[in-house]
Amino acid sequence: MEASFSLMIWNENRSRLQSFEGESNSRSLRYGKDENAIKELLCHRTSAQIAQITRAYEDLYKEKLMDRLNSEFSAILQMHSKPAIMLWATDPADRDAKWAHKAIKEKKGERGALMIIEIACGSSPDHLMAVRKAYSTRYSRSLEEEIAFTSAFKEPMREFLVQLVTSYRYKGDNAEESSAQSEAAILYNGLQTNHLLQEQIMRMISLRSKSHINATLQYYQQEYGKSIEEELAACTSPFSALMKVVIWCLISPEKHFAEVLRGSMEGLGTDEDTLTRGVVSRAEIDMELIKEEYKRRYNTTLTHDITEDTSGLYKDILLALIGPEKEP
């Protein structure tokens, strides 16, 4: 007998209680041919709910939902809509594992390093562990092994990336004041000498908790009169831009991702890969903070810019994932 299940969920995008039927949603995906129905079924669901839909689908039809999306819906999904739907329907850890592999094998250089940093520093320690496990399962090699032996990154950046992806940070709020003070001095010395990736700094940034790093940066500003952003902007080290991304992803990821999303839509054309990755990867994490930062920094809304820069189902998917803007 086919098993069915039902649970009540709070859907923040719609701000009302809804009934979520995993089996019913699975049947709709099996037989539905309407692209808007696909969007409604998947883009208004959390990753946990999509996982339940996926399990129900496989139990009912003995095939993987991702295979169904990839084949059956190819004809009706627009060019940029399909990757967005496919990525959103993918387990978050597996999705990041795929992005990490792409960063190593295809992007390489600074852009690939940025993707690795986002994954390593912009999520929780438990999620990073899940990504590493998913990577090993999918590619039969560890993520740190791939980075350590790739030619995509040069030393010392390669060593720094290995340290970042193998870190499991303390998640609490405690910070040692004396250590924060001494490490602020180490960071100051590295900035003054343009030697950002010296061993002590790499160890501090890759191992210390986010609360401890935040305390170190606050002490830095008190002691030396400038914020770390100001100092990195003036630093001539080739690694200053990447170090800013590391620090922002650890302490204020909304700043980094607001910048990433803006950059994907600036100038001629749209970088759909970056736009999709930015929206999909942060939709369940800190999208409200990103939208607030975006509005504060650029004096417009993320919703407005996506609406102006994209079209059709792709636009609708992105808007569904970011949710409505807050009323002033």
| Terminal-residue alpha carbon distance, the chain | 51
With a cut of 70, say whether residue 306 has pLDDT above it. Answer: yes
Q: Is 72 annotated as a binding residue?
A: yes
166 is in an annotated binding site: no
Tens digit of each residue's pLDDT (9 = 90 or more) over 19-52: 445 455 545 555 455 666 677 777 778 888 888 8
Is position 269 annotated in a ligand binding site?
yes
Whether 280 contacts 321, CB under 8 Å: yes
Distance CA 36, CA 319 (A): 13
At the second CATH level, the architecture of 6-76 is Orthogonal Bundle (1.10)
Rounded to whole angstroms, how far apart are CA atoms 158 and 202? 11
Residue 12 and residue 44: Cα distance in Å, rounded? 9
Question: From CA 199, how far away is CA 195, in angstroms rounded?
Answer: 10
Please determine, for residue 15, whether its predicted confidence score (pLDDT) is greater than 50.
no
pLDDT reported for residue 96 = 98
Within this chain, domains 93-251 and 253-322 share the same CATH topology: yes
* Per-residue pLDDT at 54: 81
* Helix, coil or strand: residue 75: coil
What is the tens place of the pLDDT at every residue in 169-201?
999 888 888 999 999 999 999 999 999 999 999
- How would you class 97 by CB atoms within 10 Å of its CB: exposed for 0-12, middle for 13-18, buried for 19 or more? buried
Hey, which CATH number is domain 93-251, 3.30.930.10, 3.40.50.300, 3.40.1110.10, 1.10.220.10? 1.10.220.10
Residue 309 known to bind ligand = yes
pLDDT score at 328:
65
**What per-residue string of b and e applies to 32-63 under the rule 16 or more CB within 10 Å gives b?**
beebeebbbbbbbbeeebbebbbebbbebeee
Angle of helix 240-251 versus helix 210-224 axis, rounded to 10: 120
Contact between 303 and 25 (Cβ < 8 Å): no
Average pLDDT score over residue span 150-178: 93
Domain positions in the chain are 6-76, 93-251, 253-322
Query: What pLDDT is stored for residue 33 in this prediction?
Result: 54
Assign domain 253-322 to its CATH architecture: Orthogonal Bundle (1.10)
CA 321, CA 324: separation in Å to the nearest integer?
A: 9
Mean pLDDT, rounded, for 252-278: 95
- Count Cβ atoms below 10 Å from residue 193 Cβ, excluding itself: 11
Q: Is 91 annotated for ligand binding?
A: no
> Which of these, 158, 95, 105, lies nearest to 127 by C-alpha position?
95
